[in-house]
Amino acid sequence: MRALAELVRAPAALTVPGDTLAGAAAAGWPFRRRTLPLAAASVCLYWAGMALNDYADRGTDAVERPGRPIPSGRVSPATALALATGLTFGGLGIAAAGGGRRALRIAVPLAATVWSYDLVLKATPLGPVAMAAARGLDVLLGAGGARAAVRPACTVGAHTLAVSVLSRSEVDGARPVVPAAAMAATAGVTLAARGAGKVAPVLVGAYALTTGKAQFDAVRDPAAHRVRHAVGSGIHGMIPLQAGLIARTGAWRTALAVAAAYPLARFLGRKVSPT
């Protein structure tokens, strides 16, 4: 079970439900109580993408990250592929049960984007764009594709794009300009996510502080371990960003509930790497 948890980056799934909730909040909660099943569908698709990622990268990982579940022999490639397939269909089934055809209109392209990224696009210049599109679609899933959720979807997508570009330097380190660009993107996302009230500015500020600090450290020392830390901080930083986007709609109780996952995700991230 530990090997499977490492394969799908299980604790990192705590960064996922906030996408769907942010979209739902922006659109006025179109699915109401059925929003929670849609969040569960998002988690399934995220885990599917992680398992498929390691299946597709098993050759590279054998050289660069031999301790990962597949190259270490703890999980077979066939098991990883079967798990990715099962989680994908499970996610689509949950989305259909929770939101019907309206949700499936977003969930199916989301699943297709995940598989396209892992199997085809990851190593191309379109890789980070595909990853950003997947997280943006995840936000739209909770809104049923409503236009009101386009802004938070683009905000989450922009953050994901910056983290994805930075993640390409996890193994060999980066030139300082790469984490500097990610830090500039974080500043832009912070401005786009800002909102009125007492809760939203605090949550968005927490996002800017935690994500930006790790990126600044990588600018000063762009070695591989600093870049990996910045990428991990960017993944976890998704949580206060989502919470801030939710709080700006007035749903501050939901925002605080999402934000409460942040310390748990950080703690579990020390047990199972999110990258």
> Measuring CA to CA, which residue among 17, 11, 22 is closest to residue 242?
22
pLDDT of residue 244: 97
pLDDT of residue 69: 95
> What would the DSSP string read from start to end of the chain?
-HHHHHHTTGGGGGGSHHHHHHHHHHTT-TTGGGHHHHHHHHHHHHHHHHHHHHHHTHHHHHHH-TTSTTTTTSS-HHHHHHHHHHHHHHHHHHHHHHHHHHHHHHHHHHHHHHHHIIIIITTSTTHHHHHHHHHHHHHHHHHTT-GGGHHHHHHHHHHHHHHHHHHTTTTT---THHHHHHHHHHHHHHHHH--SSSHHHHHHHHHHHHHHHHHHHHHH---HHHHHHHHHHHHHHHHHHHHHHHHTTT-HHHHHHHHTHHHHHHHHHTTS---
Contacts of 169 (CB under 8 A, 6+ apart): 178, 222, 224, 227
Do the Cβ atoms of 104 and 98 come closer than 8 Å?
no
pLDDT of residue 132: 97
Quick one: tokens of 192? 């786009």
Question: What is the spatial distance between Cα 83 and Cα 142, in angstroms, rounded to a whole number?
Answer: 24
* 183 has a pLDDT exceeding 90: yes
Q: Is 214 part of a structural domain of the chain? A: yes
pLDDT digits (tens, 9 = 90+) for 78-102: 999 999 999 999 999 999 999 999 9
Q: Which residue has the tokens 């960003």?
A: 241
Q: Which CATH number belongs to the domain containing residue 141 in this structure?
A: 1.10.357.140
Q: Is 181 part of a structural domain of the chain? A: yes
Question: What is the spatial distance between Cα 155 and Cα 145, in angstroms, rounded to a whole number?
Answer: 15
Q: Which residue has the tokens 């090997």?
A: 3
Q: How many structural domains is the chain composed of?
A: 1
CB atoms within 10 A of CB 225: 11
pLDDT digits (tens, 9 = 90+) for 207-258: 999 999 999 999 999 999 999 999 999 999 999 999 999 999 999 999 999 9
Q: Is 82 part of a structural domain of the chain? A: yes
pLDDT of residue 274: 81
CB atoms within 10 A of CB 123: 11
Q: Is 131 part of a structural domain of the chain? A: yes
User: Which residue range forms the structural domain that includes residue 259?
Assistant: 2-269
pLDDT digits (tens, 9 = 90+) for 120-175: 999 999 999 999 999 999 999 999 999 999 999 999 999 999 999 999 998 889 99
Q: Is 229 part of a structural domain of the chain? A: yes
Q: Is 274 part of a structural domain of the chain? A: no
Share of the chain above pLDDT 70, in %: 100
Q: Is 77 part of a structural domain of the chain? A: yes
* 275 has a pLDDT exceeding 80: no
Q: Is 275 part of a structural domain of the chain? A: no
Q: Which residue has the tokens 């210049």?
A: 125
